[in-house]
Amino acid sequence: MSEEVKKAIQHLERGRFVMVYDRDEREEEVDLVTPSKTITPGKIRTLRRDAGGLICVTVPPETWKKLELPYLSDLFDKTTDEYPLLREMKADDIPYDERSTFSLTVNHRDTFTGITDIDRALTIQRFAELGENLKSMSTQDAQQQFGEEFRTPGHVFLLNATEGLIAEREGHTELTTALLKLSDIYPSMTICEMLADEGDSLDEEEARVYGERNDIPLIEGKMIKKAMKDKNV
């Protein structure tokens, strides 16, 4: 495992931020990320102020499979007879990938509007806590508990990490979930694209400057891929 990946894992284990760049000729974006288990209102504020993109939460395959948490695109496909517009709007022309990983949007039932830093932090914290406890549950019990705690639609965007992770897809959803699987942290990451003041994505070099200023390491997707291969995860 490279020193860059080791340093990133150390930061994550301390509940800090890391930046992840996917790769050239894909999205070519840097995401600011932190473990969902360690999210706080202050971190939500940092994500929306310093990153500026959409704040999302990755769902590891073992969790979304246990919950039978659907991909949003599959839900749309199943309802095209009732809502023909969804057939016309099918996302079959994504320029950087074959499929979106978006699943449901959720709010914890103890939130009010769900959008405040406090509300989103609560939703994400409870999602990570519940996710850690699903292994011993049946699907029926897991779904019941999930429904008791969360409502949909909401303001936290869940992303189903592709089964097989980076062996199947090299998006930030899979890369950041894989990065946590190299640690002992529950593998759900809260992620947000970094945007430039000009309105475009923040490029990798600008992200490095931000990282040096704030002691936040930046690693590339290829480093995570190599670390996963070396560890045989």
Quick check: 11 pLDDT over 70?
A: yes
In tens, the pLDDT along 151-184 reads 999 999 999 999 888 778 888 999 999 999 999 9
Task: Show which residues are catalytic.
Answer: 31, 56, 96, 107, 155, 193
Is CATH 3.60.150.10 correct for 3-67+93-231? no
Q: Label residues 135-149 b or e (16+ Cβ within 10 Å = b).
A: eebeeeebbeebeeb
Could you tell me if 107 and 155 are in contact, meaning their C-beta atoms sit under 8 angstroms apart? yes
Mean pLDDT, all residues of the chain: 93
Residue that the structure tokens 């992770």 belong to: 165
Q: Which residues contact 3 (CB under 8 A, 6 or more apart)?
A: none
Residue type at 105?
T
Is 1's pLDDT higher than 80?
A: no
Q: Locate 83 and state its tokens.
A: 């809502």
CA 6, 182, 190, 26 torsion-angle sign: positive
Residue 90 identity: K
pTM of the model: 0.94
Structure tokens at 214: 């704030």
The SS3 call for residue 25 is coil
What was the pLDDT predicted at 212?
96
Residues 86-101: pLDDT tens digits? Answer: 999 999 888 888 788 9
Return the DSSP state at 47.
Answer: I
Mean pLDDT within 1-21: 93
Report yes or no: 37 and 123 within 8 Å, Cβ to Cβ: no
Reported as a single tens digit per residue, the pLDDT across 31-44 is 999 999 999 999 99
What is the domain partition of the chain in residue ranges?
Answer: 3-67+93-231
CA 34, distance to chain mean position in Å, is: 9
